[in-house]
Structure 1
Amino acid sequence: MKAVYATDLSAASDAAIETDTCLECLDRIGVDTLHLVTVVPANVHAGTPGIDHEKRRRRALRRYRETIEAGGLEVESHVVRGTPHRRINGIAETVGANLTIVGSRGKRPLENRLIGSTTRNLARTTVVPLLVTRVERQTDDPALLEGQLFRRVLYATDFSENAERAFEAFSYLRHATREATLVHVETPNSRQPASDGAPDERLAELATRLESWDVDATVDVREGDPADEILTAEAEYEPTTTLLGSRGQSRLRRLLLGSVSESVVANALGNVFLVPPERTA
């Protein structure tokens, strides 16, 4: 598997790339090549008096390369200019990546929007699964909040086609997953037809599949606001990563990402693994 690792060469990027457990988790799920992508925004000038930005980029990328290769993965570097999320998506398509990874600082007090514009735009436009890794805030030497990326997974589903596609990610995540909690949130407008089976029964079927892969699985059916309940479940179960599809049952254009997915990506305490719909011709 190939993964695009978007980095701005900041201390937060250092924390993610130089965490051994993070690289080990990627290796376990089948990632053998990392494409490091640094995007220089088009409105940023090439130089600043007294600072050699190009030299700093080369030095940081060389250090990342040495760390990643020491972890047993191959690595290629790309330094490009343009709009970050567009260039990252473009490179992911060009190299045939199976996954894009981007870091995001943890929560800021008194904020509703807790992720940067690049992460948010990637979540809305990515054509491959997107892993958002959480990094500590308000420290000069940040660390990943959870380096064991996929050890404990919270999977949220509304039983939509895209949610089923997200579940299929367990086909490779299972090699690094020991526990999974499967959550469905019922709302008055989301009751499933009786012919589809009760939610707890459908979750139990998924749990049986995971247990056949030696993943301990539990199910949890809740009622209320989906985003709020998923975030509450995350706080209760303390997963290392929350897994969900980027588009639910709504077909409204304004919910392309889906209000639920957007809220989870923005407000989750830990890592989030977002799976987009399958591309159509």
Structure 2
Amino acid sequence: MSQLPREFDLDDYVTAVLHEDLGRGGDVTSANTIAEGARFSAVMDTRQEIAVAGIEVAEAFFHRLDHTAKIERLVEDGDVVAAGTDLMRITGKAQALLSAERSALNTLQVLCGIATQARAFAKAVKGTGATVLDTRKTIPGLRALSKYASRMGGAANHRMRMDDGLLIKDNHIAVNGGDIVMTVMRAKAGNHGLEVQVEVDRIDQIEPALGAGADRLLLDNMPPDVLREAVALVAGRVPLEASGGIDLETIRAVAETGVDYISTSKITMGAPAVDIGLDYAICS
């Protein structure tokens, strides 16, 4: 069973999302149309093939509003399941579980969407030796969950936060007068113990960056022919990451250039929510 990331507070998340959806007055529709003691059973299923992520989070919404609810989990995070697969069965208090339905589904649809997208990208580079990475381009406040879902789909995580590693980008170099050597050397002199990665967008920046001590290079918006040239020039001295303009149509050609990593924001920012529903089996 996969575990949610340590940096993610499930209780706080559920509280915030339910507050957003229920407001101050609560679910007035359920309260005014369903008897207080009514119960129901329901099945949550997927209407398309998906990689699963967030099943535990979805359960938490139902249990928050009905701690006595009986939930049978039928899949685990990281599973890949076909359209029509049942994900969980739920039995409990009708009012409470109907009130939790949308928050649970919204979260699960988004997270499974990210995992499914990550799986598609990872599958596209299979056999090339390249590793697909996500980025810090995530919905604010949902990074830990988004990157967790990315891992469940088969991608790897780049930096979670800005203090995870030094990534020198073009604006850092520009502030230093365009001096890539000085910028890298200043970063290396910081005695931080972190890897220093440098973004380059031209071949002639590679040797100066390496000479100054770069531990890794990010090859930004380079077409495949230039990437191959960069791979040959570096010749394995440091890991190479390609980034910029990567999508499912272009990633295979990028991977075949010989780069070690390929990062794309399309995993977390371009993933469509998947189609998951909750269908009621018994009402009383």
TM > 0.5 fold call: no
Q: Give TM class, smaller chain.
A: under 0.3
Please give the TM-score of this superposition, normalised by the length of structure 2. Answer: 0.27
Using CA pairs under 8 Å that are at least 6 residues apart, name the structure with larger relative contact order, 1 or 2: 2
Please give the TM-score of this superposition, normalised by the length of structure 1. Answer: 0.27
Q: Which has the larger radius of gyration?
A: 2
